[in-house]
Amino acid sequence: ACIRAETLRANLSEVGYPGVREEVAYLPGIGVREQNFIYGTTLAMSSFIGVESIAQAAEEIKRPYKWIPLATKLSVAAVLVFALGLSLVGVGTVGWRPLAENAERPLTVLAESLPLIGGVAPALVAATGFVINLVSANTGIIGVSRVVYSMGRFRLMPSWFKAIHPRFRTPVRTIVIFGLLGGLLTLLGSLEKIADVYAFGALVSYVLVNVSMIRLREVDRDAYRPWRAPGSIEIGGREIPLVGLLGAVATGVMFALVAALHPVGRSLGTAWFAVGLAVFAAYRTAVGLPITGRVSGEMSRPANYLMDALVLFRPYDDPERVARAVAEGLRGRFRVHLLSVVNPAGMSPDELSREADRTFALLEETARRLRSRGIIATTSVMYGEPVEVAVMEGSSDRYDLVVVLTSRRSMKSKERGLARVVSARLPGKVLILRR
């Protein structure tokens, strides 16, 4: 109700600030308005910086393969909604000039213009802004401390950085060091300068992540990917993930613009990278390691994290074949619970007891063979209609994956029916292995 259509329409027709700003490194041959608009776009990009911190805390999240993609998508959507929403509200109420004249406190100007609550709204905005900045600073420290801790583990930085607090189990040294460095950055005295430096470094990492995603699809096709970015194209016989390609182009263009238009980010960012590379090279040389190399997938797996798999075992399954199929299919990433369902229909109590004992013995033998292969395995026997019990147990949050075993030669009708029904009832949670 506060947005005036005429004001919004008039301000949306303005593209770029008309005046010259001292913090912008203008390029010849392009108009001032256009360059100011591009400069503003590079600043707006900073709104998305920090979303990657969700993934950097993967080892401290239960079921990261499930929650990290969801949280990332929701965060990106939230940033878009709030950034575009506040921009439209701002230019539709007070216009762009008052906001430009009060660049250090645009939300306060916007709050003052609100009817009825304009007198108290600025104080609420200030308090909310303090809390948001506190949370944002904490997010930044969480992200960088975990990255440097990980680099210490992989010997890309001195192993001193990988120290863990004995009680809280957090990388205490990196938290303290980079908390202090973040505080020192505030001495620059300008939010735009801080954003310049942060955007420079973040965009380099975004470009590398997208290029790495494209490369990994080629050199590590068999890697376990609980969540896979949708969409791909084929170029020269190579599978190129569309998200990685678009991301590499977009972040590469944005980095070029930041480097061209932001002199503070360009100079301090380059110095930052030069110091980092020098420290890296000196450390690797000092410990007798090559400056370039490849970190294996086994080394980069999350430490001490195992997912839980429910394996549906039939009374006629062969323990050795099942153990071999499960060990090869899950590759040590899971704790395994072997479940067999005995259907009591048509059985006398004595027959049911004998069948349950026989099935339990097979389960225990299979579990023993799995344990000999280094896999944690437990067992249970349940009674009821096999498909319904399997779906009920498989839908539990206790299990990350449901494994259905099938014959290598020709799938029996019962196996085919179980695999089809369980896959339909538990979409995205079922893995079919051939024994």
Q: What pLDDT sits at residue 225?
A: 66
Same domain (yes/no): 4, 96? yes
Which of 255, 289, 305 terminates a domain? The answer is 305
Amino acid at 229: A
Number of domains in the chain: 3
Q: How far is CA 76 from CA 70, 72, 81, 90, in A?
A: 10, 6, 9, 21
Same domain (yes/no): 368, 420? yes
Do residues 337 and 377 make contact, with C-beta atoms less than 8 angstroms apart?
yes
The Cα–Cα gap between 160 and 55 comes to 23
Phi-psi region of 411 (alpha: psi -120 to 50; beta: other; left: phi over 0): beta
The Cα–Cα gap between 105 and 125 comes to 10
Same domain (yes/no): 275, 345? no
Same domain (yes/no): 267, 333? no
Spatial CB neighbours of 329, under 8 Å, sequence gap ≥ 6:
403, 431, 433
Same domain (yes/no): 378, 270? no
What's the distance, CA 43 to chain centroid? 23
Which of 270, 305, 340 terminates a domain? The answer is 305
| Residue 405 falls inside a structural domain | yes
The Cα–Cα gap between 33 and 16 comes to 4
Q: What pLDDT sits at residue 386?
A: 87
Q: What pLDDT sits at residue 195?
A: 74
Same domain (yes/no): 288, 322? no
Same domain (yes/no): 59, 2? yes
Q: What pLDDT sits at residue 361?
A: 93
Phi-psi region of 63 (alpha: psi -120 to 50; beta: other; left: phi over 0): left
Would you write out the chain's pLDDT as a tens digit for each of its 435 residues?
456 666 666 666 667 767 777 777 788 888 888 888 888 888 787 778 778 778 777 767 767 777 888 888 898 899 889 888 888 888 878 777 888 777 778 888 888 888 778 788 888 888 988 898 888 888 888 888 888 888 888 888 888 888 888 887 788 899 999 888 878 877 766 666 777 787 888 889 889 999 988 988 887 765 656 677 788 888 887 888 898 999 999 999 989 988 888 888 888 889 988 998 998 899 989 988 888 876 655 555 555 567 889 999 988 888 999 999 999 888 767 899 999 999 998 889 899 999 999 999 999 999 999 999 989 999 999 999 988 898 999 888 888 889 988 875 544 555 556 778 888 888 778 888 876
Find the angle CA(193)-CA(24)-CA(200) to the nearest 5 degrees: 45
| Residue 385 falls inside a structural domain | yes
Token pair listed for 155: 């010997």
| Residue 270 falls inside a structural domain | yes
The SS3 assignment for 296 reads coil
Q: Note if the pTM is more than 0.75.
A: no
Q: What pLDDT sits at residue 110?
A: 84
Same domain (yes/no): 295, 317? no
Same domain (yes/no): 11, 105? yes
Do residues 35 and 41 make contact, with C-beta atoms less than 8 angstroms apart?
no
Spatial CB neighbours of 340, under 8 Å, sequence gap ≥ 6:
312, 313, 314, 315, 359, 360, 362, 363, 379, 380, 381, 382
Domain that holds residue 407: 307-434
Q: What pLDDT sits at residue 411?
A: 46
| Residue 130 falls inside a structural domain | no
CATH for 358: 3.40.50.620
3-state helix, strand, coil in the chain (%, to 5): 60, 10, 30
Q: What pLDDT sits at residue 409?
A: 55
Q: What pLDDT sits at residue 90?
A: 80
Which of 119, 149, 175 terminates a domain? The answer is 119
Same domain (yes/no): 285, 335? no
Task: Name the DSSP letter for residue 49.
Answer: T
Q: What pLDDT sits at residue 410?
A: 45
Phi-psi region of 380 (alpha: psi -120 to 50; beta: other; left: phi over 0): beta
Token pair listed for 265: 């980010």
Same domain (yes/no): 393, 429? yes
User: Within 13 Å of residue 392, how many CA atoms lie on the same side as its CB?
Assistant: 9
Residue with tokens 């062969």: 318
Same domain (yes/no): 280, 335? no
Do residues 280 and 287 make contact, with C-beta atoms less than 8 angstroms apart?
no
| Residue 163 falls inside a structural domain | no
| Residue 144 falls inside a structural domain | no
